[in-house]
Each structure stands twice: as structure tokens, then as C-alpha cells.
């Protein structure tokens, strides 16, 4: 390890960055004591990555000097690598990549190999993508046993359950992408897989669309479903029916998304090595089987020039292009070194990664840069700036990769790559650019996330002892101060709405520039994604946010525009579409509130909460349920066919556990006797985690309350599935209790950096 010089300064951190680093990145001893400072962390990473220069005799950089450059690059918040690099560089684990794709073959051995490999990757801090398209269709004959296959969706459930048991790097659940080709015979079952909220909660799902399918949709024709195990025609479907079902499911819940497989493979730089079947969990990184990619992001908000430069292009004014060029070249060298520094969980992954040396340099802070320049996100000027910036990064990134190839040699598969066939290169890296989610990184860097607009200009964060802390975008706050408009009442109003679009008393130019995700017409979301995609090797992680009143036709049009604009995939999310919303605004919030009993009405009408008296005689049943704390005997007494009270006892348990079981039973009984529906009771206690989960049937019983919910749901709610409010998709952040936001293709917390997708 390169020793840290005495003159290396401590990084300047915002308060949120301090919290995120302490909770997620700074190393701790076995007893939880923090063993490194932010300065230690960034030097550990910088020194470990710079030390890889010593492997190359022709390197133009000295490792010691480069370590300081890398340190300054990160602590100036101009560039940050992906989270596994920050967590694991310079450590014994040494797994530095975030994205992996694993093949799922059509045999029990291959399927469970993939489950095992995924567990190893999740344990090391990575996320995984899978294509289930090779698996034979449900009810197909299995020659070796004479039985019938259960189909891709049944095995998807096994992968989901396995992921539930593995924490990524000991800090978070692993994240997965599951993909099925649109011409697979089980595609309809796959599209409907998430109809039941809470199912497959560790997976993002996408349907892989082909050019042939999209052409059939356009012409209103039927298309072929092919048996993957034999290559023979299985059946045919009307393409428009399938496309409209995809639209309907996206309207209902946001799942599944879509990717355009032929478009992805058109840009596959190494087609001789095989076809790309899947992506990483958020969809921005298409990869070959057993391939991984390490990512990093440039913070565009740090390249604003006070006063404009003399560039004749209006989209180029106000940006320090020379500094951006320097940072791009340094970041490409950093990411290439990460490949050599990383210890991958499987030898086959190591071999594939080193053969292609893919990196993914992206951006964050784009919305903040637009604010500084006074450019609206949903404007032609905003689109032009996106094209100019990403085109510049792509061009300079390629030049940096070519320079590294001259020093170190091209990536080994270069001679059979599309670049060699075009007479281009040689390059050190098969891909250079990716637009990845940056939820946690953007909190550390103090900037907006990825290429997304802000979700809110201002919001209230609840902290200890009921204290409320106002969080305001600094550029919005600065603009208000410059206009002499800052006031506590205004800030409270903005925090309540999240947006200023309807505040007619504010200057029109201010309202035009400081737009948020829900202010923007969905078409502009898609156009911005397409602008960045045109200059990105891999793909773009972005969410097209829709208002609650958006129609299925709106989503149909967005999907079709994504196809026409040459995007590689698209994710949409309609505000308030889930039965229990993570974070809703405007109409989405009203929709949900309309189905709930108003709190003031309850207080003013005691009959709503009156507790029914218990009859002298009542009948019921007792069910034995095995929990992780012993056998629970749950007695449910009924009145008029509905549950009226429950009693829970745990056999041979300690007094503390017995007391908790009794308390839960009493509270559930009180709710039922007060008129709370069994559905609402189940929704509240289902999914509560415990220390000793056990398997039961097709799933897990996580705790005593989860076991009670299981009994009630099984008996009284057989024809419906209740989504638990504790599910990661449906709750506030499990770490800081703030609302989660759906952006960049994933649920994440803008306060503490928690992300369902890693």
C-alpha cells in the first residue's frame, strides 16, 4: 500500500455524506467500532487503484503521484467509482465491480450453479442479471426423467428466495434483473409475474423485445413463439395483444420493463464471443454471460464556469471543457486499473472480464448543471446540452482508451471486435461509457442523481425527537436568494408540494428552469434518455415518471417512442400506481388518501373505533405453526364467519418470547374487535422480519407476526394476495424511514442512499 502523505487534506463533506459514509463505507472492527476516517477511505481507494500502474513497464504515470491525483479527483467530488470499489479497494475481499450477468442453462445442474454463483456475487457486493430464455417452457417434456418442466417463472422464484437470504457485502440485499425473450412460450406468465404485489421483490423484470416482434406490433400481425430447447415453433400470438399487456402491467405497477435485444446486440462490441442476453439489475449495463463491468460517474455540476466561455455553440457556454477533458482521461485510467485490482468471485468471470476489459464511465449532477446554466430540463436547449456533453465524454473517453492501448496493449479480444473490422482503434476497453444510477454516490458528492431531474426541490427530513430539518437544493436556494424571495413560509410551501410549477406568484423564468420529475411531460423524459443514449456505448438508467392520471395510451406512446428513438430499453413509473405508495405527489397522493379513513373523522366519530364486546361463547380453531423460535399455537376465534380474536402461545419458549407473542395477539384482537378488516391487519404485520426465519410451503415465515399473518391470509384471503407494507418495494426507507423514490430504474432513498438495486 502506498503510504498516505502528511499533506493530504481531509475531504470536505456535507452532512448527508457524513451519514452515508459512516453507515455504508467506512470500515469497522468486529465490534462495530469505526476504524477509518473519510480521509483514510479515499486514500485507501486511491492508493490501491494507483498501485496497479506498477504492473505496466510502459506506464506514463508514477504510482505515488497518481495516487494523489486519484485522491484529489474523488475528494473534489468530480468523479466517484461505483460503491463496491469504495467499499472493497485495498481490502482482502477486493471485489470492485457492481454488475454481473450469469447464464441460466436448461438443466437442473446449470440452474442451481447459477443460484450458487449469484450467492457468491451477492456476498461480495455485486448485483446480477439473468436471462431465463434458455429454459424450456412450462409443461414441456423432460427427456431425462419423463416428467414435465415447471418453466422459467417457477425457477425465478427460487432465485428470488435465495437472494432474500444473502446480504450484499453484509450491508444490503442482493439485486437482480430477470429477463425473458418475448418469443418464449411462457412470456405471458412472465409478464404477469408481478401482478401480485410483493412477489419477486428482489428482482427487476424486463421483457426482451425483438425487431421482428416490434414490426409485428406495427403491422398488427401474429408472431412466433419458439421452444428454446428444440428451436421448433411452439405457438403464435397476436403481437399487439402482448404489447398492450406489457403496457397495462406497466400502468398498473411499473413492472415489467422492456429492453430491445436486437438493438443491444447491434452494439455488442464482441459478437464473436456470443449474444448479449441480459443486463445488470438497473438495465444500463448489457453484458455477455460471465461478464462484469465496473462503473464510475463524473459530477457535471463541478464543471460550471462562473461567467461564460467564448464557445460559439450556445449549448457549450458555461462549461469548463478543458477540465472535463482532463477528468475523463484520468477517470478512464482509474477504471481500467480497477479491472486489474479487482478479485472476481469466479475464475470464468475473471477470464471474461480481462478478455474484454469493459468499463462504464457515466455522469451525475446533470440537473444541477442545468440549474446553474439557467436551462430547463424539458427544453430543446436541455437536450442539446445533453448531446454535447455526452458526445464530448464519449469522444474523449475513446481517446483515453486508445492512449492506454498504446501503453498497455488493446483488450485481448480486440482483433475479432467490431472496432477492428471497422478499422477503428485499437482500444484498451471494449466499452467506455454507461449512464448508471448514482443514488448513494450523488449524496456523497452533493449533487443530483445521474441524468434524472430532481424529484423535489425541497423536502422535510424528520430527525430525532420530532425535530424537522429542511433540505433544499442549493441552486434553487441560491436563485431564490438572488431574487429576494427566500422566506420560511415559502420553503414550507415548496416542501409540501415538492415543486413550484403551480406557484404563479414566482417569476416565470424561475418556474421554467427549476422543474422537477413530475412537472416534466413524459415525452421529455424519454427524449433526454435518447439524447444520452446516442453517445453511450452501453445503456442509460433512467425512469420515465408519469402522473397518476396518465393513461395506458400514454405508456403505449412512450414505449413506441423509445423504439423509434433507438433507446435500448425503458422503465416507466406512474405516480401512485401501487396499492401502498412509496412516495407520491399531487393526484397520486389524493388517489391513495381517498381510500383511507381520515384521521380527523375517526377522532370525531367514536363509533368507527368502538370495540365490540365479546360474547360469552365463541367458536374457533387452533393451528400449530413452526416458527424460528419454536412451535406457535395460534387460536383464532370467529364471529359471523370472520376472525374476532387471536391468541398466540409459543411452546417451551422463554418468558420474553411468550410475552411478545401474547402482546401481538392482544393487539391483533383489539384491531379485529374494533372493526379493522383482516386484510388491513395482514398487510400491517405480514413481512416483518426476525432473526430466525424458517421455510413454510413455497416461502418463508420471517417472525411471529409474519406467521400470524400467514395463518389469517391462508384462511380468510385465499383469493387475493396482500402486499405487506414492510416489503422493500412498498415502504419507507428501512434504514432512515424517509420516503423512497422511484428513479433510475430503482427504488432508492434520497436521504441516506439506501437502494434496492445496490
How does pLDDT run across 57-86, given as a tens digit for each residue? 888 899 999 999 999 999 999 999 999 999
- In the chain, what are the domain boundaries? 13-127+151-167+176-194+205-455+516-612+742-758, 619-716
What pLDDT is stored for residue 727 in this prediction?
40
pLDDT in tens, 131-173: 999 999 998 888 766 688 899 999 999 999 888 777 554 455 6
Who has greater pLDDT, 731 or 418? 418
Question: 3-state SS of the chain: helix, strand, coil percent to 5?
Answer: 40, 20, 40
**With 90 as the cut, is the pLDDT of residue 260 above it?**
yes
For 391-425, letters b (16+ CB in 10 Å) and e give ebbbebbbbbbbbbbebbebbebbeebbbbeeeeb
Q: Are 209 and 259 in contact (CB under 8 A)?
A: yes
Least confident of 58-72, 141-155, 515-529, 541-555: 141-155
**With 80 as the cut, is the pLDDT of residue 307 above it?**
no
The whole-number average pLDDT for the span 6-13 is 94
The three-state secondary structure class of 433 is strand
Task: Report the first-to-last Cα separation within the chain, whole angstroms.
Answer: 28
Give the mean pLDDT of the chain.
88
Alpha helices, DSSP H, located in 139-238: 152-164, 187-191, 211-219
Least confident of 33-37, 214-218, 271-275, 660-664: 660-664
Q: Are 721 and 679 in contact (CB under 8 A)?
A: no
E strands, 96-226, are 99-103, 127-131, 141-142, 147-148, 167-168, 172-173, 176-181, 203-209, 222-226
Q: Are 50 and 70 in contact (CB under 8 A)?
A: yes
Say how far apart CA 459 and CA 494 lie, in whole Å: 8
pLDDT in tens, 562-575: 999 999 999 999 98
What pLDDT is stored for residue 540 in this prediction?
97
Which are the catalytic amino acids?
280, 282, 284
What pLDDT is stored for residue 146 in this prediction?
67
**With 60 as the cut, is the pLDDT of residue 204 above it?**
yes
Who has greater pLDDT, 435 or 697? 435
pLDDT in tens, 370-379: 999 999 999 9
**What's the gap between Cα 749 and its chain centre?**
10
Say how far apart CA 520 and CA 536 lie, in whole Å: 23
Say how far apart CA 352 and CA 21 lie, in whole Å: 32
**What's the gap between Cα 358 and its chain centre?**
21
**With 50 as the cut, is the pLDDT of residue 497 above it?**
yes
Place 699 in a pLDDT band, splitting at 50, 70 and 90: low
Say how far apart CA 646 and CA 638 lie, in whole Å: 9
The whole-number average pLDDT for the span 525-551 is 96
Say how far apart CA 723 and CA 728 lie, in whole Å: 11
pTM to 2 decimal places: 0.81
What pLDDT is stored for residue 746 in this prediction?
76
β-strand partners of 723: none
What pLDDT is stored for residue 462 in this prediction?
59
For 148-161, letters b (16+ CB in 10 Å) and e give ebbbbbebbbebbb
CATH code reported for the domain at 13-127+151-167+176-194+205-455+516-612+742-758: 3.20.70.20
Say how far apart CA 265 and CA 211 lie, in whole Å: 11
**With 70 as the cut, is the pLDDT of residue 758 above it?**
no
Q: What count of other Cβ atoms lies within 10 Å of the Cβ of residue 667?
A: 15
Say how far apart CA 368 and CA 447 lie, in whole Å: 7
DSSP 211-263: HHHHHHHHHT-EEEEE-TTT--EEEEEEHHHHHHHHHHHHHHHS-SEEEEHHH
What pLDDT is stored for residue 310 in this prediction?
52
The three-state secondary structure class of 298 is strand
Least confident of 96-105, 180-189, 560-569, 665-674: 665-674
The whole-number average pLDDT for the span 510-538 is 97
What pLDDT is stored for residue 31 in this prediction?
87
**With 80 as the cut, is the pLDDT of residue 205 above it?**
yes
Q: What count of other Cβ atoms lies within 10 Å of the Cβ of residue 466?
A: 6
Who has greater pLDDT, 676 or 397? 397
Q: Is 33 exposed, middle or buried (0-12, 13-18, 19+ CB in 10 A)?
A: exposed
Distances (CA, A) of 283 to 207, 326, 632, 747: 11, 29, 43, 14
What pLDDT is stored for residue 81 in this prediction?
98
What pLDDT is stored for residue 726 in this prediction?
41
Place 740 in a pLDDT band, splitting at 50, 70 and 90: confident
* Of residues 45, 570, 547, 571, the one with CA closest to residue 296: 45
Place 513 in a pLDDT band, splitting at 50, 70 and 90: very high
Question: Is residue 41 reached through a cis peptide bond, with omega within 30 degrees of 0 on the bond before it?
Answer: no
The whole-number average pLDDT for the span 464-480 is 80
Say how far apart CA 254 and CA 594 lie, in whole Å: 22
* Of residues 361, 355, 344, 363, the one with CA closest to residue 430: 355
Say how far apart CA 7 and CA 741 lie, in whole Å: 40
Least confident of 194-198, 276-280, 500-504, 734-738: 734-738
pLDDT cut 90: percent of the chain above it? 64
* Of residues 631, 689, 685, the one with CA closest to residue 663: 685
- Specify which of 390-399, 623-632, 662-671 reaches the highest per-range mean pLDDT: 390-399
Say how far apart CA 552 and CA 565 lie, in whole Å: 20
Least confident of 4-8, 100-104, 581-585, 613-617: 581-585
Say how far apart CA 25 and CA 88 lie, in whole Å: 9
Place 15 in a pLDDT band, splitting at 50, 70 and 90: confident
Say how far apart CA 308 and CA 412 lie, in whole Å: 43
Say how far apart CA 246 and CA 72 lie, in whole Å: 47
Distances (CA, A) of 185 to 188, 189, 234: 8, 9, 7
DSSP letter, residue 273 = G
* Of residues 453, 427, 450, the one with CA closest to residue 439: 450
The three-state secondary structure class of 181 is strand
Instruction: For CA atoms 382, 385, 391, 392, give the dihedral sign.
Output: negative
Q: Are 187 and 181 in contact (CB under 8 A)?
A: yes
Amino acid at each position: 500500500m502506498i503510504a498516505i502523505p502528511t499533506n493530504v487534506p481531509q475531504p470536505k463533506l456535507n452532512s448527508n455524506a457524513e451519514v452515508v459514509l459512516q453507515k455504508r463505507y467506512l470500515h469497522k472492527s468486529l465490534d462495530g467500532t469505526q476504524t477509518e476516517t473519510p480521509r483514510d477511505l479515499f486514500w485507501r481507494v486511491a492508493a490501491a487503484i494507483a498501485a496497479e500502474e506498477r504492473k505496466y513497464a510502459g506506464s506514463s504515470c508514477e504510482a505515488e503521484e497518481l495516487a494523489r491525483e486519484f485522491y484529489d479527483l474523488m475528494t473534489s467530488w468530480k468523479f466517484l467509482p461505483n460503491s463496491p470499489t469504495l467499499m472493497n479497494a485495498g481490502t482482502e475481499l477486493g471485489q470492485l465491480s457492481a454488475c454481473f450477468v450469469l447464464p441460466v442453462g436448461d438443466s437442473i445442474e446449470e440452474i442451481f450453479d447459477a443460484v450458487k454463483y449469484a450467492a457468491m456475487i451477492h456476498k461480495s457486493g455485486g448485483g446480477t442479471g439473468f436471462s431465463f430464455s434458455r429454459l424450456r417452457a412450462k409443461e414441456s417434456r423432460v427427456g431425462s426423467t419423463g416428467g414435465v418442466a415447471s418453466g422459467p417463472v417457477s425457477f425465478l422464484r427460487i432465485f428470488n428466495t435465495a437472494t432474500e437470504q444473502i446480504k450484499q457485502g453484509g450491508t444490503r440485499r442482493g439485486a437482480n434483473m430477470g429477463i425473458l425473450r418475448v418469443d418464449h412460450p411462457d412470456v405471458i406468465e412472465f409478464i404477469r409475474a408481478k401482478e401480485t404485489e410483493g412477489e419477486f421483490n428482489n428482482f427487476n423484470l424486463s421483457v426482451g423485445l425483438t425487431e421482428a416482434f416490434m414490426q409485428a406490433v406495427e403491422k398488427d400481425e401474429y408472431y412466433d413463439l419458439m421452444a428454446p430447447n428444440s428451436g421448433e415453433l411452439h405457438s403464435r400470438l397476436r403481437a399487439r395483444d402482448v404489447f398492450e399487456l406489457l403496457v397495462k402491467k406497466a400502468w398498473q405497477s411499473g413492472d415489467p420493463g422492456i429492453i430491445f435485444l436486437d438493438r443491444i446486440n447491434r452494439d455488442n462490441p464482441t459478437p464473436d464471443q456470443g449474444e448479449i442476453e441480459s443486463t445488470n439489475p438497473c438495465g444500463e449495463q448489457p453484458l455477455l454471460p460471465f461478464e462484469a463491468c465496473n462503473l464510475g460517474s463524473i459530477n457535471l455540476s463541478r464543471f460550471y464556469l462562473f461567467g461564460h466561455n467564448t464557445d460559439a455553440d450556445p449549448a457549450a457556454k458555461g462549461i469548463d471543457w478543458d477540465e472535463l477533458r482532463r477528468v475523463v482521461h484520468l477517470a478512464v485510467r482509474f477504471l481500467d486499473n480497477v479491472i486489474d485490482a479487482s478479485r472476481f468471485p469466479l475464475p470464468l468471470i475473471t477470464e471474461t472480464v480481462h478478455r474484454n476489459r469493459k468499463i462504464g464511465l457515466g455522469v451525475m449532477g446533470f440537473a444541477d448543471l442545468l440549474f446553474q446554466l439557467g436551462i430547463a430540463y424539458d427544453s430543446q436547449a436541455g437536450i442539446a446540452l445533453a448531446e454535447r456533453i455526452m458526445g464530448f465524454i464519449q469522444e474523449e473517453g475513446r481517446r483515453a482508451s486508445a492512449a492506454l492501448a498504446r501503453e498497455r496493449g488493446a483488450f485481448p479480444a480486440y482483433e475479432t471486435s467490431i472496432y477492428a473490422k471497422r478499422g477503428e482503434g485499437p482500444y484498451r476497453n471494449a466499452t467506455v461509457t454507461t449512464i448508471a444510477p448514482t443514488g448513494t454516490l450523488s449524496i456523497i458528492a452533493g449533487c443530483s442523481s445521474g441524468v434524472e431531474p430532481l424529484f423535489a426541490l425541497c423536502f422535510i427530513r424528520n430527525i430525532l425527537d420530532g425535530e424537522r430539518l429542511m433540505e433544499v437544493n442549493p441552486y434553487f436556494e441560491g436563485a431564490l436568494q438572488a431574487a429576494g424571495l427566500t422566506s420560511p413560509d415559502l420553503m414550507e410551501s415548496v416542501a409540501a408540494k415538492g415543486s413550484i410549477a403551480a406557484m404563479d406568484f414566482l417569476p416565470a423564468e424561475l418556474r421554467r428552469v427549476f422543474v422537477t420529475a413530475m412537472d416534466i411531460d413524459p415525452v421529455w423524459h424519454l427524449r433526454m434518455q435518447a439524447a444520452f443514449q446516442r453517445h453511450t456505448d452501453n445503456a442509460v438508467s433512467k425512469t420515465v415518471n408519469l402522473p397518476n392520471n396518465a393513461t395506458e395510451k400514454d405508456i403505449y406512446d412512450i414505449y413506441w417512442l423509445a423504439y423509434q428513438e433507438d433507446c435500448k430499453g425503458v422503465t416507466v413509473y406512474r405516480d401512485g400506481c401501487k396499492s401502498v405508495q412509496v412516495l407520491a405527489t399531487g393526484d397520486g397522493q389524493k388517489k391513495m388518501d381517498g381510500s383511507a379513513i381520515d384521521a380527523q373523522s375517526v377522532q370525531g366519530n367514536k363509533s368507527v373505533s368502538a370495540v365490540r364486546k365479546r360474547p360469552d361463547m365463541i367458536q374457533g380453531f387452533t393451528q400449530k405453526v413452526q416458527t424460528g423460535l419454536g412451535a406457535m399455537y395460534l387460536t383464532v376465534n370467529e364471529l359471523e364467519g370472520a376472525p374476532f380474536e387471536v391468541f398466540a402461545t409459543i411452546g417451551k419458549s422463554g418468558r420474553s418470547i411468550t410475552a411478545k407473542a401474547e402482546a401481538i395477539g392482544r393487539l391483533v384482537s383489539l384491531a379485529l374487535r374494533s372493526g379493522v378488516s383482516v386484510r388491513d391487519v395482514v398487510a400491517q404485520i405480514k413481512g416483518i422480519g426476525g432473526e430466525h426465519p424458517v421455510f413454510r410451503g413455497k416461502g418463508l415465515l420471517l417472525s411471529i407476526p409474519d406467521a400470524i399473518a400467514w395463518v389469517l391470509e391462508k384462511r380468510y384471503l385465499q383469493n387475493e394476495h396482500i402486499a405487506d407494507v414492510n416489503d422493500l418495494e412498498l415502504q419507507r426507507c428501512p434504514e432512515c424511514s424517509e420516503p423512497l423514490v422511484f428513479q433510475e430504474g430503482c427504488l432508492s432513498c434520497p436521504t441516506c442512499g439506501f437502494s434496492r438495486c445496490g
